[in-house]
Chain A
Amino acid sequence: MASGIVAYSSPFVPAEWIAAHRLTPLRLTPGPSVVAAGAGICPFAHDFLQASQVPGVADGVIFTTTCDQMRRFAEQARASLPTFLMNVPATWQTTEAVGLYVAELRRMSEFLITLGGHAPTAEELRQTMEAFDKIRRNGSFESRAQWEKDRGGAAGDTLPMNLASSEKGFIRIALVGGPLRKQDAWIAEHLQHAGATIVLDATETGERTLPAPFDEARVRTDPLAELARAYFLTIPDAFRRPDSLLHDYLSREVQARRIRGILLIRCVWCDQWHAQVARIKDSLGVPVVEIDLGQDDHDTPRIKTRIDSLLDMVR
Chain B
Amino acid sequence: MNEPPAQISLEQWHHRYTSLRAAGFHEAPYGGPLERHFTAGDYRLAQLRFDNSAAALRLWNFLLTETERLFAAQRAGKKIIGTMKDLGTVPIMAYALPDTIAFYPDGTWWIPCIMRQSTRDLAIADSLGIDESFCPVRAMLGAFETHQHFPPPDLLICSVGATCDDFSAIAQRLASRGLAILWWEIPARRTPEPTEEAIALPGGFLAGGRQVDFVQAELQRVSAALAKTVGHEVTDARLAEGITAANRIRDMLRQLRNLVFTAPRCPLPALEMLIAEMLAIHYCSDRQQTQEVLGELLAEVLRRIAVSAGTLPADAVRVFWVNPVADLQAMNLLEECGGRLCGTEFMFCHALDPIPTDVAPMEALARMALADPMIGPSADRAKRIMHDVRQFGAEAVLISRIPGASHCALEGSAIRAIIQRESNVPVVEIEVPPLNEGVRASLRTRLEALVETVRRRRTS
A99 — nearest CB in chain B belongs to which residue?
A: B214
A247 — nearest CB in chain B belongs to which residue?
A: B176
Q: Which of A14-22, A34-42, A126-134, A148-156 contacts B (4 or more CB under 8 A)?
A: A34-42
CB <8 Å contact, A278 and B410: no
B6 at the interface (CB under 8 A from A): no
Q: Give which listed residue, B129, B170, B413, contacts A279 with CB less than 8 A.
A: B129
A–B complex contacts, Cβ < 8 Å, 23 sampled = A38-B413, A65-B161, A65-B187, A69-B410, A72-B407, A75-B378, A75-B379, A76-B414, A87-B190, A89-B187, A90-B185, A91-B183, A239-B168, A241-B181, A270-B165, A272-B168, A274-B129, A274-B133, A274-B169, A275-B173, A277-B129, A278-B129, A279-B129
- B413-460 contacts to A, CB under 8 A, are 413-414
A residues sitting closer than 8 Å to B (CB atoms) are: 38-41, 65, 67-69, 71-73, 75-76, 85, 87, 89-91, 94, 96-97, 99-100, 103, 107, 110, 238-239, 241-243, 269-272, 274-279, 281
CB <8 Å contact, A91 and B210: no
B63 at the interface (CB under 8 A from A): no
B413 — nearest CB in chain A belongs to which residue?
A: A38
Most-contacted residue by chain A among B130, B161, B181 (CB, 10 A): B161
Q: How far is the CA of A89 from the CA of B218 in the complex (A)?
A: 12
CB <8 Å contact, A68 and B164: yes
B127 — nearest CB in chain A belongs to which residue?
A: A278
Q: How far is the CA of A277 from the CA of B173 in the complex (A)?
A: 10
B198 at the interface (CB under 8 A from A): no
B406 — nearest CB in chain A belongs to which residue?
A: A68
- Closest chain-A Cβ to B216's Cβ sits at a distance in Å of 10
Q: Give which listed residue, A67, A100, A272, contacts B185 with CB less than 8 A.
A: A100
B395 at the interface (CB under 8 A from A): no
B404 — nearest CB in chain A belongs to which residue?
A: A271
B275 at the interface (CB under 8 A from A): no
B218: chain A residues within 8 A (beta carbon): 96
CB <8 Å contact, A96 and B185: yes
- Closest chain-B Cβ to A246's Cβ sits at a distance in Å of 10
Q: How far is the CA of A90 from the CA of B168 in the complex (A)?
A: 10
Q: How far is the CA of A97 from the CA of B186 in the complex (A)?
A: 10
B208 — nearest CB in chain A belongs to which residue?
A: A107
Q: What number of A-B contacts does a CB cutoff of 8 Å give? A: 124
B259 at the interface (CB under 8 A from A): no
CB <8 Å contact, B176 and A279: yes
Known: A89-B187, A241-B160. A39 touches B409 (CB 8 A): yes
Q: How far is the CA of A243 from the CA of B162 in the complex (A)?
A: 16
B411 at the interface (CB under 8 A from A): yes
A111 — nearest CB in chain B belongs to which residue?
A: B193
Known: A241-B168, A243-B172. A275 touches B130 (CB 8 A): yes
CB <8 Å contact, B193 and A110: yes
Q: How far is the CA of A87 from the CA of B211 in the complex (A)?
A: 10
Known: A90-B183, A279-B176. A85 touches B188 (CB 8 A): yes
CB <8 Å contact, B188 and A71: yes
Q: Give which listed residue, A67, A97, A103, A241, contacts B172 with CB less than 8 A.
A: A241
B72: chain A residues within 8 A (beta carbon): none
A41: chain B residues within 8 A (beta carbon): 409-410
CB <8 Å contact, A90 and B409: no
CB <8 Å contact, B210 and A103: yes
Q: List the 6 closest A-B pairs by CB distance, nearest first.
A: A278-B129, A40-B409, A275-B169, A271-B166, A90-B160, A87-B187
A269: chain B residues within 8 A (beta carbon): 133, 406, 409
B172: chain A residues within 8 A (beta carbon): 241-243, 275
B248 at the interface (CB under 8 A from A): no
- Closest chain-B Cβ to A214's Cβ sits at a distance in Å of 25
B195: chain A residues within 8 A (beta carbon): 110
Q: How far is the CA of A278 from the CA of B131 in the complex (A)?
A: 11
CB <8 Å contact, B168 and A73: no
A276: chain B residues within 8 A (beta carbon): 169
CB <8 Å contact, A72 and B378: yes
Q: How far is the CA of A110 from the CA of B194 in the complex (A)?
A: 10
CB <8 Å contact, B414 and A67: no
B128 at the interface (CB under 8 A from A): yes
- Closest chain-B Cβ to A242's Cβ sits at a distance in Å of 6
Q: Give which listed residue, B170, B175, B407, contacts A68 with CB less than 8 A.
A: B407
A69: chain B residues within 8 A (beta carbon): 165, 406, 409-410
Q: Mark B120-161, 1 if CB is under 8 A from A, else 0.
A: 000000001110011000000000000000000000001011
A281: chain B residues within 8 A (beta carbon): 129
Q: How far is the CA of A85 from the CA of B377 in the complex (A)?
A: 11
- Closest chain-A Cβ to B180's Cβ sits at a distance in Å of 10
B193: chain A residues within 8 A (beta carbon): 107, 110
A73 — nearest CB in chain B belongs to which residue?
A: B410
Most-contacted residue by chain B among A39, A75, A76, A271 (CB, 10 A): A271
B221 at the interface (CB under 8 A from A): yes
Known: A75-B414, A91-B183. A272 touches B165 (CB 8 A): yes
A91: chain B residues within 8 A (beta carbon): 160-161, 183-185
Q: Give which listed residue, B175, B190, B214, B377, contacts A100 with CB less than 8 A.
A: B214
- Closest chain-A Cβ to B175's Cβ sits at a distance in Å of 6
Q: How far is the CA of A71 from the CA of B163 in the complex (A)?
A: 10
B64 at the interface (CB under 8 A from A): no
- Closest chain-B Cβ to A94's Cβ sits at a distance in Å of 7
B411 — nearest CB in chain A belongs to which residue?
A: A72
Q: Mark B377-408, 1 if CB is under 8 A from A, else 0.
A: 11100000000000000000000000010111
B302 at the interface (CB under 8 A from A): no
B129: chain A residues within 8 A (beta carbon): 274-275, 277-279, 281
Most-contacted residue by chain B among A89, A94, A110 (CB, 10 A): A89
Q: How far is the CA of A2 from the CA of B190 in the complex (A)?
A: 27
